[in-house]
A and B are shown apart, each in its own frame.
Chain A
Amino acid sequence: MTRRSASLALITGLAAALALSGCAGSASPEPTGTVDPDATLTVGLVLEPTNLDIRHTSGAALEQLLIDNVYEGLVTRTQGNEITERLASSYTVSDDGLTYTFTLNDGIVFHSGTPLTSADVVASLQAVRDDESMQGHSELAGVASIAAPDASTVVITLTAPDQNFLFSLTGPAGLVFQNGDTTDLKAAANGTGPFTLGTWRKGSSISLNRNDAYWGEKAGVGEVVLDYIPDFTAGVNAALDGSLDVLTAVDPNLAPQLEKSGDFVLTEGRTTDKGTLAFNNAKAPLDDVRVREALRRAIDHDALVAAVGAGQTMYGPIPELDPGYEDLSDIAPYDPERAKELLKEAGHEDLTLTLTIPSFYGTTVPQVLVSDFSKVGVTLKVNSVEFATWLEDVYSNKDYDLSFVLHVEPRDFVNFANPDYYFGYDNPEVQSLYAQAKAETDEKKSAELLAQAARLVSEDHAADWLYNGATITALVPGVQGFPEDSINSRIDLRGVTLSK
């Protein structure tokens, strides 16, 4: 039966070509009518969560679905990754950066009907701090005490100032759950958010229903159905046959189909996705900085971004949306001749390396790298593996030469300051700068320190950043208020409306 198995990548390309060549011209978008407050909004996404227990399970798919929609924290992030209040109406930070005082909004109620008090907040944060099996446990390691002086105030005291602390609370670590709740969080939910969890049809869709008892401004639609369509082409087909109002994470190479149909408005959103080409700094020949620099200079980043079809170049570990960003394009510009010289100096004129890449990232990036590297005498073997295999071989066992993963997490510079991370990058100066940035109470100064550290990392060529991703979203014209930026980790659906 082997002749029946076929490469999906080939098929995807073929289908795209076919659909492009034969796309029947359809009508232009109809003029939009009035907003329907009880509308059902259908959103197509790629990655489905494996379970709903956001306290114990990692993954962007879970955060995207649940944070701000079903569960809320004291604070959250804006699309531009700025910190903003959510359950807290306001907060203050003491001058020494040790004491955070939050005042809660009035009338917050869990989906179960129980009012939220400061005790729920204390219990939730306490659990994350004390239980190492919880997501975000390490982020709350510096918390000395969590107290509730009254029903609407929460005071958190740290052992040392931590510039990252507040941002940690915008993630899974900061979500508030009902104290003593017996809900099975793997399959059900009980939060405070503007939506309650409807039905989860595994392998297909999850629905969210408007929470009419929501404490703040209520959601603009009656129901949201999240349709999980793992195959990019199938997603585009679903949009084209009219079964979706929104398609997120559109494959840039398939976007023209949606544009040509005339039925969709396309937005391109900024992200903190870093297409990271990791070098195994701890292993020869990549422990030689000349080899790492050569590899970086061998890559034509502009051409690579064009091949990926969206996003922009980035030449350092910190993306534009995060504190500490600066343009580092002067550090390793495209220069294949210099790359060859460097390899010659390092004694590697004829080098063979293996790239380990999770298979869902497709073939575009490996193809570009193979061809760019071959021009400077480096043979690149591509080892395409399942994500679980990548976690085992690369992440846990650090058994690799080069690896490619899209690191989507915002403010994750810490990975270059952690010698145990799979990058194998151990630079005491970077570690010290990062520690200073973390302990610095002045936001501006902290960002400056981060920028210095990031420059060092890039000058060391600890990795290459192939591109800073952008996400394309397709919307039918009646959809208003759908978030554009950072939506691979957050989709706040509260403000979305649909007119028919």
Chain B
Amino acid sequence: MIRYTLVRGALLIAGLLVASAVIFLALRVFPGDVAQLIAGSKATPAQVDALREALGLNRPLPVQYAEWIGGLFHGDLGTSQLSGASVAEEIALKAQVTVPLMALSLIIALLIGVPLGILTALLRGRRSGTLVNVAAQAIAAVPVIWAGMMLVVVFAIWLGWLPAQGFPRNGWADPGRALQALLLPALTIGVVEGAMLLRFVRSATLQASGEDFVRTAAAKGLTRARALILHGVPAVGLSVLTVLGVQIAGLIVGSVVIEQLFTLPGIGRMVVADVGTRDLVKVQSELLVLTGSVLVVGFLVDLVHHLIDPRQRESA
């Protein structure tokens, strides 16, 4: 287990380094730069270039990369070229919206996906099971943004129960209102992700019901459903854990889109805005934090998996 952790940890660090280089280079492909945006459309080329020089944009790329990485090793994510604010502080501030949004979305997705997935597996071959399954297929195929629009029109515009967009200006000072603001966006992501999860849980459950240990239990006189719930579901839990890593990536992508749609001041919207203003030092740190989160989740999932799955432990 210790050897596994070390090897997996080394992989994680290598992954982060590769990601940092890819992010850094990919961002340099964009036309335009922050100096032009600050100077605007009245500036002469000489003025823009003087600004570039002042911002350090004229230095060779390896130097700029080394500076950024050097800062990261000291825990410094850099400062925004536009606002002069610390990137770490900005991320921490926006995370107060994005992290609860993702958590809430995940809870909703699990509440929808797991019980219904098991239920449709149990109801396999019956009309009601097929109906739920077809509905899930359809919902999983809906673009998040479209689902969000629908929910806004119904719950915010027609019924007026929930705010259509935005986040309370005083943040979490009034937790009730903050939660209210996150409910529609989280529901949007949660329903779509949940429908995807449902299909996954269903097939995992069906697979488990064919496993030897479930069949053995059934042979011992349990009904198929009881055998499945008592012996199959723990195995399904493991598979769900594996898919969670993928789901987190989905949640991040979903939250970028949804924050745009609902005007939530979160990390996703910040990244989009910063790419637009070519505040590249800020964007590269933001993207690395997001990528890092996904890689770390994957790392943790693998470790837990390794711990509890007997088959994996034997092979290690």
Contacts and interface: CB of A to CB of B under 8 A. Distances in A.
Interface of A: 1, 3-6, 8, 11, 14-15, 18-19, 22-24, 48, 50-51, 56-59, 132-133, 135, 137-138, 184, 186-187, 201-205, 207, 225, 227, 229-231, 234, 237-238, 240-241, 243, 385-393, 395-396, 405, 409
Interface stretch (B14-22, B115-123, B272-280): B272-280
A237 B257 contact: no
Contacts of B266: 203
Contacts of B278: 388
Contacts of B276: 386-388
A385 B269 CA distance: 19
Contacts of A388: 30-33, 36-37, 276-278
A392 B31 contact: yes
Top 3 closest A-B pairs, CB basis? A58-B40, A388-B32, A237-B164
B59 interface: no
B157 A237 contact: yes
A51 B81 CA distance: 10
A203 B265 contact: yes
Interface in B107-157: 141, 143-146, 149-150, 152-153, 156-157
Interface stretch (B45-53, B214-222, B284-292, B301-309): B45-53
- Mostly, the B contact residues are helix
Interface residues of B, number: 64
Interface stretch (B1-9, B65-73, B83-91, B202-210): B83-91
Contact of B163 (A6, A22, A184, A241): A241
Interface of B: 30-33, 36-48, 50-51, 54, 82-85, 90, 93-94, 141, 143-146, 149-150, 152-153, 156-158, 160, 163-167, 169, 249-250, 253-254, 257, 260-263, 265-266, 269-270, 273, 276-279
A137 B163 contact: no
Q: Which of B32, B33, B143 has the most CB of A within 10 A?
A: B32
Contacts of B36: 388, 391-392, 395-396
A396 B48 contact: yes
A59 B40 contact: yes
Contacts of A396: 36, 45, 48
A229 B167 CA distance: 11
A386 B279 CA distance: 14
Contact of B32 (A48, A202, A229, A389): A389
A227 B163 CA distance: 14
A372 to B, nearest CB: 27
Given A387-B276, A388-B276, A11 B145 contact: yes
A391 B164 contact: no
A437 to B, nearest CB: 19
A390 B265 CA distance: 26
Contacts of B163: 238, 241, 243
Contacts of A225: 169
Given A133-B51, A238-B165, A203 B153 contact: no
A418 to B, nearest CB: 10
